[in-house]
Amino acid sequence: MALIISLALALLLTVLSEFAVYLCLIHRSPWHLLMYSFIINSFTNPLLNYLHIFEGYNLGGLEVLVVLIESLLIFLLSEISYPRALIVSTVANSASFILGIIPIF
């Protein structure tokens, strides 16, 4: 049960932190940006956690793949240029990664 709660909190933290980055870097409705963050991270976050925790894949390599996948999804959903979507994805994933490694007491 503790693992499920930890994974749910990780997803929530990721959605909210990446939403904050989207708000700063993409000029769209906040509601749309929140939905983009939820949709994108509902796919990539559980997959990353599964591959890292249960399959033992390297976290750094997984994060690079997530940045690339999310940049494509951001590009398609928000209709910004791909180079800008890649920057947004890199900044958003850096923020959520840094928040994710800070221990929560």
37-77, pLDDT tens digit by residue?
999 999 999 999 999 999 999 999 999 999 999 999 999 99
pTM greater than 0.95 (yes/no): no
Q: Let me know if 41 is exposed, middle or buried by CB neighbors in 10 A (0-12, 13-18, 19+).
A: buried
The residue written with tokens 């590009």 in the block is 75
Closest CA relative to residue 33, chosen from 94, 77, 93: 77
- Whether the CB-CB separation of 87 and 68 falls below 8 Å is answered with no
